Amino acid sequence: MRIVTPRIGRRDALAGLAAAAAAQILPFMPVRAQGELPATPRQTEGPFYPEDWRGDADNDLVLVKGEAAKALGQVLHVEGRVLQVSGRPIAGSAVEIWQCDAHGIYRHSSDEGGSRPRDGGFQGRGRTLTDNGGRYRFRTIRPVAYASRTPHIHFKIAPQAGRALVTQMYVAGEPSNARDGVLNAIRDPRRRDSVIVRLQSAEGIEAGALAGRFDIVVG
């Protein structure tokens, strides 16, 4: 998979400032010294894995090049690390996310064309690489419910070596979590809890925004 590194610009500068602020709000936990971390559970990739990665597909899904307005919905800063079960960070992993817009519509031909138009100001999918510490970050929107699904964000992690991991991130406190079949198919409570992320105010990063940390363990 070819990853294009964007030039430094306004959005990159914003991301840098956000990262510095986020480090104070959501500090990274130290790498586990003993034992193994629970592997992040594998979940379904479909049915709306992005068909087209051309154009703007960076780690800021809220601003789309060529669009005047930013995405509808509440801004969410998601960051975390990609780790081995030993706790060692995995550098250079490709991390992709995709989710529906604030109307509950995916950027996908199978989900567009209905009575509600897709939000053109929402990028719909994004891609980045982990740094030397295994860290990644995205600026997106707080996920909303889709059909019978509880709010979630799809993740795909492709290390430089080994099998790719597809999983989903959920929001702590959502009443519909208890009824979501995909989430509750994870029988191990510890592993199920590992994909449920608590969101908190990120006023220090961006007015009105939320922030959450999602560490992903590739087992």
Report whether CATH 2.60.130.10 matches the domain 10-218. yes
With vertex at residue 87, the alpha carbon angle to CA 82 and CA 88, rounded to the nearest 5 degrees, is 70
Strands 152-158 and 94-98, by their bridges, are antiparallel
pTM of the model: 0.85
Domain boundaries, the chain: 10-218
For 198-208, write each residue's pLDDT tens digit.
Answer: 999 999 999 99
- Quote the CA–CA distance of 47 and 108 in Å, as a whole number: 9
For 158-212, write each residue's pLDDT tens digit.
Answer: 999 889 999 999 999 999 999 999 999 999 999 999 999 999 999 999 999 999 9
Contact partners, residue 53, CB within 8 Å, separation at least 6: 125, 127
Q: Distance from CA of residue 159 to its chain's centroid?
A: 16
In the chain, % of residues over pLDDT 70:
83
